[in-house]
Chain A
Amino acid sequence: NAGVTQTPKFRVLKTGQSMTLLCAQDMNHEYMYWYRQDPGMGLRLIHYSVGEGTTAKGEVPDGYNVSRLKKQNFLLGLESAAPSQTSVYFCASSPLRIETGELFFGEGSRLTVL
């Protein structure tokens, strides 16, 4: 039982390049999230999904797109990377409503945009 797995764990991009971060969970959770973590800024919600085929914007959605084609996967895309997107990205999942339990986080993906 791997929990929440993120790939890749490290990536360096040049400005303007595109990439996709993959999050996979094997706990049959309905809700999935993408957060970014920057020094002094905490964890900021980018996008989230409350079920297969659904997505919604969080606090900082600009410059990112997401897709949830399969219940176990949640993809985060950067179409044209910018240095401001240099960050550590965390994927998380939860069974249902947040207050029924906890968020299970992945190990994080460190992205550097030059």
Chain B
Amino acid sequence: GENVEQHPSTLSVQEGDSAVIKCTYSDSASNYFPWYKQELGKRPQLIIDIRSNVGEKKDQRIAVTLNKTAKHFSLHITETQPEDSAVYFCAAVPDAAGTALIFGKGTTLSVSS
């Protein structure tokens, strides 16, 4: 089955710096890669996603890149702010039917002012 690995597990940056979180996946059939953000004590929420026919997608200060050949994708956050502090999860759809999401283990991002 699909295996999603996420690095680093923790990341500390200064306000205004950039943050990069990387994920790799094992199933070459995977074609959808979302990122979820979970603030302390709250539910995960989708922040950005990318499909296999696109190499990069950007939404204001966040962007996601995908390298299907190498089977890895990354989340980039620029000009980080204290409210970006949260746990970030990458995920992949493990089958062509698109029935479920397999998540990475998460990255705890801390942005200090």
User: How far, in Å, is A29 (CB) from chain B's closest CB?
Assistant: 13
* Inter-chain contact total with CB atoms closer than 8 Å: 65
Query: Is B19's beta carbon under 8 Å from chain A?
Result: no
Contacts A42-B104, A42-B106, A43-B103; A98 near B43 (Cβ below 8 A): no
B65 proximal to A (CB < 8 A): no
Interface: A102 (CB within 8 A): yes
A40-B9, A99-B51 known; A45-B102 Cβ under 8 A: yes
B-side interface residues, number (CB < 8 Å):
26
Interface residues of A in 69-114 (CB under 8 A from B): 90, 96-100, 102-103, 105-108
Chain B residues lying within 8 Å of A58, measured Cβ to Cβ, are 100
Residues in B with CB closer than 8 Å to A31 are 99-100
Residues of A14-66 at the interface with B, using a CB-CB cut-off of 8 Å, are 31, 33, 35, 40-45, 48, 50, 56, 58-59
Docked CA distance A50–B99 (Å): 7
Query: Which residues on B sit within 8 Å (CB–CB) of A100?
Result: 98
Give complex CA distance A100, B34 in Å.
Answer: 11
Interface residues of B (CB under 8 A from A): 1, 6, 9, 31-32, 34, 36, 42-46, 49, 51, 89, 93, 97-106
